[in-house]
Amino acid sequence: MGVAGARDRGQALPIYIVVVTGLLFAALAFVVVGMAGATRSEAQAAADAAALAAAREVRDNAFLGTDFLALKQGDWEAILEGDRLGVQGACGKALAFAALNDATATCQANIRVFTVTATTNGTVGKSVIPGSESVKGHATAKAVIEPRCSLQPDATPTPSPTPSPGGGDPGPPASLDFRCKGGAVVTLDPAKPGSLIQLARKLFSVRLTD
């Protein structure tokens, strides 16, 4: 009886070792999956930040060098629709933000739409799965600039200054009122527009999109 029991234990030992080894490998593989997910999350964070930075760079410089006194109604309609926005400096800003997040990036800039694909500099690392030490995280993000405001129906764009009948200086230019999302009203004095960045941020928003 004792001999039979010892023989049974001897036969069960290899099976036990195989089962334990399989469970250990599965556990390590699960850890690798988690590491890969973390690496991709890092790539997504870098891509999101870079795309938003590109859009904000364009939005914040929307009125740089603008002569507000020369703008007509058609000009304002085009501006408020975002048709006058450019792309200069957008991708440079995107690449800089990707680098801050330990990633490289490619960037495509169109009017109001900025797409960035980021690749992490780091890898998943060595693991039980061959080749994981060379696997990097990849992710793509897209940011858009959205118009927030329109000219109020009774708003009159700034007219060109004309001399008064008495030959004196022309009167002050009329101010403009913009009706924005949420019911807010933004008033602009074309002669004294104030902070151009703050004006751009009131008239346009930036967000990520699918």
Q: Give the tens place of pLDDT for each residue, 168-190.
A: 555 555 789 999 999 999 999 99
78-92 average pLDDT score? 94
Most confidently modeled range among 4-8, 140-144, 158-162, 180-184 = 140-144
CA gap 33, 132 in Å, rounded: 10
H helix runs in 61-113, sequence order = 73-80, 90-100
Tokens 């000009």: give the residue. 75
* CA angle, 120 then 122 then 127, to 5°: 125
Please say whether the beta carbons of 151 and 52 come within 8 A.
no
**CA–CA dist 142, 112 (Å, integer):** 10
State the amino acid at position 10 in one-letter form: G
d(CA 131, CA 5): 45
Single-letter code of the amino acid located at 131: G
What is d(CA 94, CA 140) in angstroms, rounded to the nearest whole number? 12
* pLDDT level of residue 131 (50, 70, 90 thresholds): low
Question: In this structure, are residues 56 and 207 in contact, taking their beta carbons and an 8 Å threshold?
Answer: no
Q: In the prediction, which pLDDT does 38 show?
A: 78
**Adjacent-strand bridge partners of 105:** 118
Confidence of residue 158 (pLDDT cuts 50, 70, 90): very low
Structure tokens at 161: 């200054």
- List Cβ neighbours of 205 (8 Å cut-off, separation of 6 or more): 145, 146, 148
Query: Does pTM top 0.85 for this prediction?
Result: no
Tokens, residue 17: 């070792």
For the chain, helix (H) and strand (E) counts, in that order, are 4, 7
